């Protein structure tokens, strides 16, 4: 194990550290104790990342120039992971680990034209940028308030970064929103880089946005074109800060035992939508990534109506409540009709649908729920037509009152309802 002086000697061998200490001394915050602490912290960062101070600065400069917002997100995750490593593998307390992380930020701050403007991480943040599954998202959505649902659904549906999402105003969505559209087109400016891009909000986000804005109007807010779509929950309801949005997502995940973050929601959008969006440049454009050339922007990105079609088709991969597939709709219709036929009619109906739908129908009628319907006793065992008896399909909660009135149970259905006759 190196001594404090050896840590310091190692660190000062790099030009970026020399510049860091000179700047700190000029600001009267560069005491010898600070230099020793920073030196050891940078050595720990080198051990974790494999990057010495000069290479750390070089890597940040390269990545931030290519795509600042993406670099901020990537480095946010890296530093989160660094703090977790310090805590879990090195045994540092949460506070000490966070202080060590500050040395890396300071190194970049005093050596780069573009600063690493991210907050102090907390131990326990997700260590790798993997997507949330849709099932995990549903669990988080279940425990969220209306404001929180808007945040997580908005991030999931749009693929936007935290910084861009909180800048959305009512004016950005007003046109499609007031037309009652389920899919809202949004023109966005990547504020830090002044890059224009487009994306969409889908039905999951739009549904809760309508409720959220209605609640805000009822509590006295005036919603104008310049009103932020995402605000705090206490008066005077200011635009939500980036760190507050991040904490909201983290805490929602903690409530259901899932490691969640805005980055993972963005990754969910990217991963699931890529299953349907054939051209990666379109998806890249929707997420606000810097395109490689003007050719990509001018010749590959289609006009808004075509983008909308692509998005609507791909949305089924991230929809929390997708509409039933065509086969499911057909099966539901078949089941409904079979429940109202007598035994002989059901046999004829099975032959009819087998002729119409071929192998698919054969698979359907082999399923248990269909077998139960096919083998269901005749609703009228005496052989008279169904018109001789009165039949009704009722909810289980209504059953007692019907039995008291002289009705008889004919069949308990898979959906929890009951067929009764009189």
177 and 292, same domain (yes or no)? yes
158 and 61, same domain (yes or no)? no
124 occurs within a structural domain: no
* pLDDT band (50, 70, 90) for residue 374: confident
Which residue, of 317, 348, 365, is where some domain finishes?
A: 317
Alpha helices (runs of H) in 89-145, residue ranges in sequence order: 94-109, 134-142
Alpha helices (runs of H) in 110-184, residue ranges in sequence order: 134-142, 146-158, 162-165, 170-178
Looking at residue 380, its pLDDT comes to: 46
Looking at residue 386, its pLDDT comes to: 38
Is the model more confident about 183 or about 387? 183
126 occurs within a structural domain: no
Q: What is the mean pLDDT of residues 336-344?
A: 75
pLDDT value at 119 more than 60: no
250 and 356, same domain (yes or no)? no
Q: Which residues in 159-221 belong to E strands, given as ranges?
A: 184-190, 195-201
Looking at residue 115, its pLDDT comes to: 66
Could you list the residue range(s) of the whole structural domain that residue 419 is in?
Answer: 384-422
pLDDT value at 209 more than 60: yes
Q: How far apart are CA 86 and CA 92, in angstroms?
A: 6
Q: Mean of the per-residue pLDDT values for the chain?
A: 81
Q: How far apart are CA 105 and CA 57, in angstroms?
A: 10
Is the model more confident about 33 or about 164? 164
Identify the top-confidence range among 90-104, 115-129, 249-263: 249-263
pLDDT value at 121 more than 60: no
172 and 195, same domain (yes or no)? yes
123 occurs within a structural domain: no
* pLDDT band (50, 70, 90) for residue 384: very low
209 and 279, same domain (yes or no)? yes
Looking at residue 231, its pLDDT comes to: 94
pLDDT in tens, 291-303: 655 545 555 688 8
Between the CA of residue 372 and those of 342, 349, 414, what are the distances in Å?
Answer: 13, 15, 9
334 and 396, same domain (yes or no)? no
Looking at residue 29, its pLDDT comes to: 62
207 and 310, same domain (yes or no)? yes
């Amino acid at each position: 194990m190196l001594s404090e002086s050896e840590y310091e000697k190692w660190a000062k061998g790099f030009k970026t550290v020399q510049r860091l200490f000179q700047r700190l001394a000029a600001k009267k915050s560069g005491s010898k104790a600070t230099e020793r602490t920073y030196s050891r912290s940078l050595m720990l960062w080198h051990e974790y990342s494999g990057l010495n101070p000069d290479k750390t600065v070089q890597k940040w400069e390269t990545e931030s120039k290519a795509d600042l917002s993406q670099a901020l997100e990537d480095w946010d995750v890296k530093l989160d992971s660094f703090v977790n490593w310090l805590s879990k593998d090195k045994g540092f307390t949460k506070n000490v680990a966070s202080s060590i992380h500050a040395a890396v930020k300071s190194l970049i701050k005093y050596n780069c034209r573009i600063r690493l403007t991210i907050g102090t991480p907390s131990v326990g943040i997700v260590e790798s940028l993997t997507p949330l599954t849709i099932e995990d998202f549903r669990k988080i959505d279940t425990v969220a308030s209306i404001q929180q649902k808007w945040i997580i659904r908005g991030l999931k549906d749009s693929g936007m970064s935290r910084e861009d999402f909180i800048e959305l105003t009512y004016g950005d969505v007003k046109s499609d929103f007031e037309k009652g559209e389920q899919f809202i087109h949004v023109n966005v400016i990547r504020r830090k880089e002044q890059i224009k891009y487009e994306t969409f909000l889908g039905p999951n986000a739009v549904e809760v946005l309508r409720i959220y804005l209605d609640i805000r109007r009822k509590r006295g807010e005036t919603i104008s074109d310049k009103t932020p779509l995402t605000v705090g929950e206490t008066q005077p309801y200011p635009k939500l800060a980036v760190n507050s949005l991040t904490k909201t997502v983290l805490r929602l995940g903690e409530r259901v035992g899932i490691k969640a973050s805005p980055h993972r929601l963005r990754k969910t959008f990217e991963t699931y939508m890529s299953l349907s969006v054939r051209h990666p440049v379109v998806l890249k454009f929707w997420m606000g990534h810097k395109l490689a050339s003007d050719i990509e922007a001018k010749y590959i990105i289609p006009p808004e109506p075509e983008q909308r079609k692509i998005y609507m088709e791909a949305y089924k991969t991230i929809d929390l409540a997708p509409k039933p597939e065509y086969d499911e709709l057909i099966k539901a219709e078949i089941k409904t009709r079979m429940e109202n036929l007598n035994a002989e009619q059901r046999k004829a109906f099975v032959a009819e649908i087998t002729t119409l739908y071929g192998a698919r129908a054969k698979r359907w009628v082999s399923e248990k729920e269909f077998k139960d319907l096919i083998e269901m006793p005749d609703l009228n065992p005496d052989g008279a037509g169904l018109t001789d008896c009165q039949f009704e399909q009722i909810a289980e909660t209504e059953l007692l009152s019907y039995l008291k009135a002289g009705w008889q149970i004919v069949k308990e259905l898979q959906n929890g309802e009951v067929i009764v006759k009189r």
